[in-house]
């Protein structure tokens, strides 16, 4: 490309020189040519500097990506060690007569439920009644609401409210 431009320029100069009538026109044409060559050399030097800068930045970027990748690998290796002993959902925690149930719902959000131990005890007793006693025994003890839930075929009672809190029972 550079050679082609020079050849075209030389042809242009030769065609102009044959039509030039004075030495002054020829000297002006030579000066313009030299100016163009100098400008071309400056642009070529700028281009070469930019290519060098690009290559250096590209090398630095690749080194940075490699270092970040190594750091990520180290963190991934450390995750089990960091999480060892951590309390992450799901878990059941009993503390100071309170029962805490923490789990993740289907959307990934953390759900947190808390009950007094009395509510849990009542739930266990309620579950025992539903598993061990017949419907007629429940009715005889005047536990009509419980007997009615049992007769409707509900095995999981998730919305049965006791005085102290929510009772969860699973009966088999």
Boundaries of every domain in the chain: 2-83, 91-170
Residue 48, pLDDT above cutoff 90: yes
User: Alpha-carbon distance 165 to 155, whole Å?
Assistant: 19
Asked if the bond preceding 4 is cis, omega within 30° of 0, the reply is no
pTM of the model: 0.34
Give the torsion through C-alpha atoms of 14, 18, 21, 24, to 10 deg.
Answer: 20
* Model pLDDT, residue 37: 87
Average pLDDT, stretch 22-50?
88
Do residues 150 and 135 lie in contact, with contact meaning Cβ atoms separated by under 8 Å? yes
Neighbours of 86 (CB within 10 A): 6
**Angstrom distances, CA of residue 169 to CA of 26, 30, 118:** 107, 102, 14
Give the count of alpha carbons within 13 A of 146, CB side only.
26
**CA-based nearest residue to 125, from 90, 92, 157:** 157
pLDDT in tens, 112-171: 888 888 888 888 887 787 777 777 777 788 877 777 776 655 444 444 444 334 444 444
């Amino acid at each position: 490309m550079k050679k082609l431009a020079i050849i075209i320029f030389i042809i242009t100069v030769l065609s102009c020189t044959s039509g030039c009538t004075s030495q002054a026109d020829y000297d002006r044409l030579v000066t313009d040519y030299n100016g163009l060559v100098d400008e071309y050399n400056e642009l070529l030097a700028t281009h070469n500097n930019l290519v060098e800068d690009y290559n250096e930045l590209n090398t630095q970027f690749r080194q940075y990506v490699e270092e970040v990748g190594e750091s990520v690998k180290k963190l991934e290796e450390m995750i089990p060690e960091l999480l060892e002993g951590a309390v992450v959902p799901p878990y059941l925690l009993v503390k100071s007569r309170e029962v805490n149930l923490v789990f993740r719902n289907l959307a990934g959000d953390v759900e947190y439920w808390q009950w007094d131990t009395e509510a849990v005890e009542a739930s266990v007793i309620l579950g025992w009644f539903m598993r061990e006693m017949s419907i007629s025994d429940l009715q005889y003890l005047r536990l009509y609401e419980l007997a009615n839930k049992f007769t409707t075929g509900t095995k999981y009672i998730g919305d049965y409210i006791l005085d102290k809190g929510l009772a969860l029972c699973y009966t088999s």
